[in-house]
Structure 1
């Protein structure tokens, strides 16, 4: 049987259980779009900007534990999508980015919108694959998938010359999606960890982004309980464990509060699982310290290149995080002469102190903590929270309790504009869940146009916009480093209620602390998408400000 390379591509993705792709349509991959016309298994989501499409693909990857799929046109389309490739690299999320390209006879001739993608994305993507012969479609797509999921997951760029997609090739049966190349922990590894851990009086488990599946999270809880371990989430990993679990002590922010940082100095062993131990999680490579930490570090990660890159571990284990946790949860716990209940209790008490909310009314606007507390009260047990980037996020991390059965999608890349796309993707993947997205006024107007995509697809999203009329994070740094000299941080915003209603979406406004409770209750029970405009006080941009 003969078929076009474009048809082979679509069939291959379907055989890998891809059921949704995100795109902005472009003439450079029309043949692929045409191949999708008759393919009812794969839904095509046309977005309003390639950056929004890319963020939607990333959210879908997080929710399905398989690569997200993005299609974009050449040149400008690919450049618009670059932000999502960077986020995939920073977060360790598998992403396949298919980019239409000039025809093969035009390659290297400076043709209209031609880009050398190997050069452009070489330091962001794990691999850039340019397919020049349609007959290579099957094996190169398999290779791209393998690269995306193995080691540290990340983005792979697949470049599709326009005319190559119309090559006619022999059909081939798929063997199904490739599996990640990663060895599991050995029996000797598990025994060494158990013996070292049994001798620690004040150990700490740092849980990272690669702990994504329900089974891995369940094993994490089991290990924490069996071994008496406090669990600290790596940067932006607030949902690796239920926040009301007795062993949860919070997640790492840009700057750890001294109340917790001082207590953690007593740690005598760190078990880091599923995290690269980057600069934010380690607070500028100070905890654990680089290159030689003060306490022994056992580092478990699926990519050997990341072990010892900045911090010398006492022991490095190349293993899938979920596999390690599942195996270690079944490993016998040797007897120990230490009780760690006081250690865990001390840290959880510090965490409770930090997350205890006391409103601070202001004539200048709403205390955002009042809004977060109201969301915490009224959010259903199955809520999917989505979090854009910005200073407003400190209020969510400090005062929102992510319960068992709830999830929080955020990005460690710090990229603004992810909140609305994340919410659209989450609501489409799980329409049975309540989806709530928090964002600032800056991020809201970066990819807020994707509300149109939500309306088009019937995605029931609840958006909460903190409007303080400034780029808050940058304003904070300016005041710290160049006090009294603000530049380029003040904003003029629309009426977000009227903005929402222009899309046919219900708008609500919170202008006083007393409004928060009843407005949030109404917004979350409204049958349809909503935007909540919070007129936040610019006096306290950060939840840890005095």
Structure 2
């Protein structure tokens, strides 16, 4: 078979049913091989960046490996934002890049670049295949590397002539994801550390989602009555309406919720890499706190905080092992009053009083209405930007696998991620939230949504600025605004030109009816929500930031 045909057969082995990309002349042999394969659908997008976001989100919601195709230097450069996002999100992603013909390499051929060096720092592994007989070896290894340990992106550079060549190619069976389990000695050490804890706290991260360990985490937390806080953009690791859920560590987390972590005497970190945002600028934990860190990737242990106990294990296998052991001394001194108090603090700061403003938009009321109207299993995607603070602070994710966000903070993510999520889970309602700045970065994917009949609803929070950048400008250089102000099209007319359901909301009272119509339309939809630019974040206005800066001076 040809190298291209071998790749398609490996995709089938791995259970891949969708691949995403923009066609390129350097991988036409692969496109031709896909033409004959009815079990795999090639989703053509309007930009490789959108394709990589779709593939990443598709892999996230389906539990499979996302696959994206691109061509040479320009396609690779365009889709690199999704590769970085997959790395930050710990999402398994395989990138197949067409490369210039082998005999042209090293001559600065048309769109030639060393793709392995280009991607080397933002992926788990990058390799160029020079021999058709090694295509099965490298492509199957790519899938194994992408989904093993801490999952992430792998990039394969494939010269056009190697794809077209034929050879006697033999495929190995698809590999399974390794799921290491803690030793009995590690379990004993875990309970030894936990035995005297009065205020233990679980910080749960992406490893819980990736191991499908949400139910095991809930059982463990309930067994010992240990509260749970979610790492950055991992809202759905634990039901937010559960009495043991105490918040989410984000940008601008309410200080009272951050205090829950600071008051804990023992931290059980499960599947989190302790990112800058989760740790509130690497300043969250103190040497006085005991730390137990469980992660499938050895390199994560001690990378930020040196643990008293580090366990290399799959999150679900670790939790099942801890739940199964009935012989060892167990925690008996947990302060249940403290646990209840921290839950009350979370509820106090995140409960929204109902209002029905007819003159302007309060973004809290938009989130409250979403909560009321969406089914509990609806999938929410969101872009980067200050508008997301309202979602992060006030929306309650009550079921697992209902949130898809970019830990990388990539703008332009929400819409293409929603399309990937809907293709992966067509049975679910999918809603994307974006600011006007981020939405315009991938707005062209509305055409992709229309062409493939993908009914997602996009909410555009429009304040005519890059809001998070404006906030930082005002904090550091008040009144000296440069580069963050934006002009925008008429979003309603723009949406209509694409053929999608389109509406504009200028007050809270309008939103429920418009949102219901968009959900019922069963077609791609956008709703522009006109926001007050003065309300720059959940907790601050532009005026309050300027006043605080004046007092400091």
TM-score by length of 1: 0.96
In 2, the alpha carbon distance for the partners of 1:465 and 1:46 equals 24
In 2, the alpha carbon distance for the partners of 1:470 and 1:200 equals 47
In 2, the alpha carbon distance for the partners of 1:413 and 1:439 equals 15
Could you say which residue in structure 2 is the equivalent of 1:223? 220
Q: Deviations over 1:485-526 (max 9, x none)?
A: 010011111111111111111112110122123222332233
Could you say which residue in structure 1 is the equivalent of 2:453? 458
Could you say which residue in structure 1 is the equivalent of 2:323? 329
Could you say which residue in structure 2 is the equivalent of 1:53? 51
Q: Deviations over 1:170-191 (max 9, x none)?
A: 1424312x23345321122122
Between stretches 525-534 and 441-450, larger displacement belongs to 525-534
Taking the TM superposition and a 5 Å limit, the aligned residue runs for 1:229-308 are: 229-289=226-286, 293-308=287-302
In 1, the alpha carbon distance for the partners of 2:269 and 2:352 equals 30
Please state how far the C-alpha of 1:214 moved relative to its aligned partner: 8.0
Tell me, yes or no, if structure 1 residue 424 matches structure 2 residue 419.
yes
Q: Given the superposition, is the C-alpha separation of residues 463 and 353 from structure 1 closer, same or farther in structure 2, using an over 3 Å criterion?
A: same
In 1, the alpha carbon distance for the partners of 2:400 and 2:230 equals 17
Q: 1:319 aligns with which of 301, 313, 319?
A: 313
Q: 2:19 aligns with which of 13, 16, 21?
A: 21
Taking the TM superposition and a 5 Å limit, the aligned residue runs for 1:87-166 are: 87-166=85-164
**Aligned 8 A contact 1:394 1:544 in 2:** no
Tell me, yes or no, if structure 1 residue 180 matches structure 2 residue 174.
no
SS in 2 for 1:265: helix
Please state how far the C-alpha of 1:331 moved relative to its aligned partner: 2.8
Q: Given the superposition, is the C-alpha separation of residues 544 and 329 from structure 1 closer, same or farther in structure 2, using an over 3 Å criterion?
A: farther
SS in 2 for 1:438: strand
Could you say which residue in structure 1 is the equivalent of 2:82? 84
Please state how far the C-alpha of 1:346 moved relative to its aligned partner: 1.2
Q: Deviations over 1:415-444 (max 9, x none)?
A: 000101011111111222111111110111
In 2, the alpha carbon distance for the partners of 1:193 and 1:505 equals 54
What is the alpha-carbon root mean square deviation over aligned residues? Answer: 1.8
In 1, the alpha carbon distance for the partners of 2:246 and 2:399 equals 15
Q: Given the superposition, is the C-alpha separation of residues 393 and 202 from structure 1 closer, same or farther in structure 2, using an over 3 Å criterion?
A: same
Please state how far the C-alpha of 1:264 moved relative to its aligned partner: 2.9
Tell me, yes or no, if structure 1 residue 207 matches structure 2 residue 204.
yes
In 1, the alpha carbon distance for the partners of 2:75 and 2:5 equals 22
SS in 2 for 1:243: coil
**Aligned 8 A contact 1:53 1:70 in 2:** yes
Please state how far the C-alpha of 1:278 moved relative to its aligned partner: 1.8
In 2, the alpha carbon distance for the partners of 1:480 and 1:171 equals 61
**Aligned 8 A contact 1:364 1:538 in 2:** no
Tell me, yes or no, if structure 1 residue 531 matches structure 2 residue 529.
no
SS in 2 for 1:479: helix
Tell me, yes or no, if structure 1 residue 513 matches structure 2 residue 512.
no
Could you say which residue in structure 2 is the equivalent of 1:42? 40
Between stretches 443-452 and 404-413, larger displacement belongs to 404-413
Please state how far the C-alpha of 1:330 moved relative to its aligned partner: 2.5
Q: Deviations over 1:448-505 (max 9, x none)?
A: 2111111111111011110000100000000000001010011111111111111111
Q: Given the superposition, is the C-alpha separation of residues 103 and 362 from structure 1 closer, same or farther in structure 2, using an over 3 Å criterion?
A: same
Please state how far the C-alpha of 1:144 moved relative to its aligned partner: 1.1
In 1, the alpha carbon distance for the partners of 2:270 and 2:223 equals 17
Please state how far the C-alpha of 1:529 moved relative to its aligned partner: 2.2
**Aligned 8 A contact 1:74 1:115 in 2:** yes
TM-score by length of 2: 0.94
Could you say which residue in structure 1 is the equivalent of 2:469? 474
Tell me, yes or no, if structure 1 residue 189 matches structure 2 residue 186.
yes
Please state how far the C-alpha of 1:153 moved relative to its aligned partner: 1.2
Please state how far the C-alpha of 1:213 moved relative to its aligned partner: 5.3
In 1, the alpha carbon distance for the partners of 2:335 and 2:472 equals 39
**Aligned 8 A contact 1:431 1:460 in 2:** no
**Aligned 8 A contact 2:96 2:157 in 1:** yes
Please state how far the C-alpha of 1:125 moved relative to its aligned partner: 1.3
SS in 2 for 1:179: coil
Please state how far the C-alpha of 1:543 moved relative to its aligned partner: 1.5
In 2, the alpha carbon distance for the partners of 1:314 and 1:40 equals 52
Please state how far the C-alpha of 1:66 moved relative to its aligned partner: 2.2
Q: 2:361 aligns with which of 360, 366, 369?
A: 366
Please state how far the C-alpha of 1:151 moved relative to its aligned partner: 2.2
Q: Given the superposition, is the C-alpha separation of residues 286 and 72 from structure 1 closer, same or farther in structure 2, using an over 3 Å criterion?
A: same
**Aligned 8 A contact 2:358 2:510 in 1:** no
Taking the TM superposition and a 5 Å limit, the aligned residue runs for 1:441-456 are: 441-456=436-451
Could you say which residue in structure 1 is the equivalent of 2:549? none
In 2, the alpha carbon distance for the partners of 1:536 and 1:462 equals 18
**Aligned 8 A contact 2:253 2:393 in 1:** no
Q: Given the superposition, is the C-alpha separation of residues 71 and 241 from structure 1 closer, same or farther in structure 2, using an over 3 Å criterion?
A: same
Q: Deviations over 1:194-238 (max 9, x none)?
A: 222121000010000111158410001001100111101000111
Please state how far the C-alpha of 1:334 moved relative to its aligned partner: 3.6
Tell me, yes or no, if structure 1 residue 412 matches structure 2 residue 396.
no
Q: Given the superposition, is the C-alpha separation of residues 272 and 214 from structure 1 closer, same or farther in structure 2, using an over 3 Å criterion?
A: closer
In 2, the alpha carbon distance for the partners of 1:532 and 1:385 equals 15
